[in-house]
Structure 1
């Protein structure tokens, strides 16, 4: 392979939340393997509490970084967020047009969304090919969270436009088998479809007893049985369903811990004030994840109804690394549900059914003898199937072919 590798992503180092973390690790691994890696990203923060000093240009761990200046996310205002994503996409597109040469290798991430629509223009004007790393599928995810009705003309027009854009890349990289199914319908025979899941960071995240974590000892004065939801507290996570199930729980020994921030943070905060078994803390630094992921007995992973194939909860892989059983709320055909069934990692409950969720929570509490075996299965899957180096090598092989 000759030429530079360009990665275009809204988030990158020093942002180490979600997309920023994964793209940084991919870029630095490719650089470590001897590739000439360049990243075009933004100065956007993932949340308002983040404090970072950005440089417009720098080299970090062998990767050349160019950044464009854009505003930060306002997740609670749909119109402002849409305008900012459009502005961000245009800024990244212009910077890519100025720097990418024919013969270079390009991987574009589906964040921000409108970059998906702009890259076919670049392909036409510069005669380049590119890969698309799909973390989200548009506009279906907008319909799933209620941003637009799937029966509306707006959705139909957007769907037609985006479907054409998804057919433009030489390769679409899917992070879930369910996502591959959805993408296959969108792109048909127009390109190559590769499945590369996210990974477990088995060196930095490893099993601990909850009693040995700082967070558990800060929050609980006596031994409690804790279900934890850690991650984005947004609309796509089906959190109202969890709160409805919690209302049905009568056992005072069962506790719930929410870790993170997002559009539903205030809703959960108000709920916790009137509930003696719910704790809520905000975003936690990634360097503390081994502590907070282990501060529970059971980890909850969710995807809202209608989100089948539209996203994969990336936190699931480090939950496996921590050896925590997973209670999955979502479609039983989704990627994490498939993993749970294949490797015996926990339980699956359908979304929007608080009664069934309540019943499963009580069942888990009453049958704790199985938890040790499930914990061992989770760690084994993290080490043998989803370890970081195993997955990153798939990216190297893709770009080195």
Structure 2
């Protein structure tokens, strides 16, 4: 079976979704599928890559065909609205043009969102070329944009985006979502979606890559991921003042994102530069090591109704490396902490966060126990190897259902003669 994956991000970019698409494509290829990934020239985080203006470039990554297409590439860390929209729109529009000349080479197309516009390629693939379309949905991008103040509720842009998403959901053969809550939100928001085409496909973690390394522990706690508006990192930073009244340790905020500069300013203004460090983006190969030598990982989501479906990939990575996590937020992240035994949830408040971290620091046996439970849990339920195998089965089931429908149509037609 020949699979085409359309994604806004792919390595050498270092975002969480880039690594997830890399793992998905790699594992599907190992399972015997022929996989091609369509992505723009590397440009995230903005300004960290040299701009490329070639129409397309092809390369092989672990047997996977990767084709980078020309798209607008912002050249600063926090691009304005027009720069972001140009980045998000030029790539999917280019994919539509590419599809008209190449889609006969593929059997199934997978579009990964966010951003929502990657679905542009799925519409002609399904409606014109009759290909099977799998929507890989990682979050409610429109809802999150409204709750975080980037999009005005009821605006023309929101209405147009909703109408476009309705077209996508109504035509997809399979909708893969990270959590049950996300699937339910989609079905509540959009009309006439058959629940039978929903599949839970968690972000998960590559448990062969992320594993507990036998390293001496350092006096540090870690955040490793996107430094964005949905994360309550400011409260974690402010919690470090109380924590360091009893323990001498540092908070490492590893990564990059829109609010990194603001958080660095918060750190300086509160006299916390001795306790909080921003190492920036590190190679993916370094992340399991730096997690393994940390005492605790933090996964602080803001307490918003529109984020209750979310489970940050970093929580899986902490557990896979055998350390407990302290999270914030409600919904799925709280469920993960409780069911796995690998994490605790604190209120979105510096005192509550510091109390949760101090409890674990004062109880090393509890930390070890939670780390062991977390590793076992993700290995059994959230390894990306198993997730890819399930996705392959789901994709193959589309073809089986198609064959059954064709057979039934033929029988019905014969019976009418």
TM-score using structure 2 length: 0.83
Aligned with 1:393 (options 373, 389, 396): 389
- Indicate the residue corresponding to 2:62 in structure 1: 61
Cα distance 1:200–1:115, how it changes in 2: closer, same or farther (>3 A)? closer
- Indicate the residue corresponding to 2:205 in structure 1: 200
- Indicate the residue corresponding to 2:222 in structure 1: 228
**Structure 1 residue 152, shift from structure 2 partner:** 4.8
Contact 2:324 / 2:371 at 8 angstroms: preserved in 1?
yes
The 3-state SS of whatever aligns with 2:294 is coil
Q: CA separation in 2, counterparts of 1:310 and 1:50?
A: 32
- Indicate the residue corresponding to 2:361 in structure 1: 365
Contact 2:111 / 2:136 at 8 angstroms: preserved in 1?
yes
The 3-state SS of whatever aligns with 1:173 is strand
- Indicate the residue corresponding to 2:379 in structure 1: 383
Aligned with 1:269 (options 261, 264, 284): 264
Query: Which moved further from structure 2: 175-184 or 130-139?
Result: 175-184
**Structure 1 residue 61, shift from structure 2 partner:** 2.9
Q: CA separation in 1, counterparts of 2:289 and 2:236?
A: 23
The 3-state SS of whatever aligns with 1:400 is helix
1:112-123 pair list within 5 angstroms? 112-117=115-120, 119-123=122-126
Aligned residues: 385
**Structure 1 residue 315, shift from structure 2 partner:** 2.0
- Indicate the residue corresponding to 1:348 in structure 2: 345
Q: CA separation in 2, counterparts of 1:376 and 1:232?
A: 26
Cα distance 1:362–1:38, how it changes in 2: closer, same or farther (>3 A)? closer
- Indicate the residue corresponding to 2:405 in structure 1: none
**Structure 1 residue 254, shift from structure 2 partner:** 4.6
Query: Which moved further from structure 2: 63-72 or 83-92?
Result: 63-72
TM-score using structure 1 length: 0.86
CA RMSD of aligned residues (A): 2.7
Q: CA separation in 2, counterparts of 1:22 and 1:359?
A: 33
Structure with more helix by fraction: 2
Contact 1:272 / 1:280 at 8 angstroms: preserved in 2?
no
Q: CA separation in 1, counterparts of 2:3 and 2:259?
A: 38
**Structure 1 residue 270, shift from structure 2 partner:** 2.9
The 3-state SS of whatever aligns with 2:42 is coil
Cα distance 1:207–1:36, how it changes in 2: closer, same or farther (>3 A)? closer
1:306-351 CA deviation, whole Å, 9 max, x = no partner? Answer: 24256431122221111010101111x22x3222111211201233
Contact 1:40 / 1:67 at 8 angstroms: preserved in 2?
yes
Larger radius of gyration: 2
1:264-343 pair list within 5 angstroms? 264-273=259-268, 274-275=271-272, 276-306=274-304, 307-309=306-308, 311-331=310-330, 333-334=331-332, 336-343=333-340
1:68-147 pair list within 5 angstroms? 68-73=69-74, 74=76, 76-79=78-81, 80-101=83-104, 104-117=107-120, 119-147=122-150
1:221-257 CA deviation, whole Å, 9 max, x = no partner? Answer: xxx3x32111111111122232343355443535322
Contact 1:184 / 1:193 at 8 angstroms: preserved in 2?
no
Structure 2 residue runs without a partner (length 5+): 398-417
Query: Which moved further from structure 2: 386-395 or 284-293?
Result: 386-395
**Structure 1 residue 50, shift from structure 2 partner:** 4.8
